[in-house]
Amino acid sequence: MDYIIAGLGNPGDRYTFTRHNAGFLTIDYLAQFFNTKVDKIKFKGLVGSFEYAGKKVLLLKPMTYMNASGESIKEAVNFYKIKPEKLIVIYDDIAFDVGIVKMRKKGSDGGHNGVKSIIQCLGTEEFPRIRIGIGIPKYDMVKYVLSEFEDGEKEKIFRAIEKASNGIKILLESDIDRAMNYINGDMVV
């Protein structure tokens, strides 16, 4: 494997379309985009793989629940001997309005328990991540992140997932800097 792309979320039908599952939803979109399925059980998660632009890519949805995402990701990273910069983590972020997408090469957990788990398990903050804005909580944070998107937000979240996926495509075709320019700026594909 050349890359692992992990989307964070919670397993189970009741969480499928919740704000906290923006990472899982993006992995599902990527699987469809690259004509694969994320349905094999491995590394305490669901995986699928594909090849694109000469690169082998593993898609991973940890099934450990959000707060233990690092356990699943660490198993996959260790198995494939992936360097941290070749692990891309996609997750929800309450610091941005619904539909805002940002990418960076490294950083702190920003208060996100899934990312905190990954940093603890890998022993580094040096992995790229794509953050998808789910809106700033209007009430109790736990209830908010486990709520579904409102009708007026669904189009915005779909466009954000599409933008994140296009950024992954650019990353695989070129490099992380070009992907970041697209996701963080106004570059058009």
Active site residues: 20
The residues pairing with 104 across neighbouring beta strands, listed in sequence order, are 129
Give the number of other CB atoms < 10 A from CB of residue 140: 10
Among left, alpha and beta (phi > 0; psi -120 to 50; other), residue 158 is alpha
Q: Is 18 left (phi over 0), alpha (psi -120 to 50) or beta?
A: beta
Q: Which residues contact 55 (CB under 8 A, 6 or more apart)?
A: 2, 3, 172
Q: Is 67 annotated to bind ligand? A: yes
- In the chain, DSSP finds a helix count (H) and a strand count (E) of 6, 7
Does the annotation flag 113 for ligand binding? yes
Is 166 one of the annotated binding-site residues? no
Asked whether residue 184 is marked as a ligand-binding residue, the answer is no
Nearest by Cα to 104 from 74, 131, 75: 131
Q: Is the dihedral of CA 6, 1, 45, 119 positive or negative?
A: negative
The pair phi, psi for residue 15, each rounded to 5°, is -100, -10
Q: Are 159 and 83 in contact (CB under 8 A)?
A: no
Point out the annotated binding site for tRNA: 15, 65, 67, 113
Point out the annotated binding site: 15, 65, 67, 113
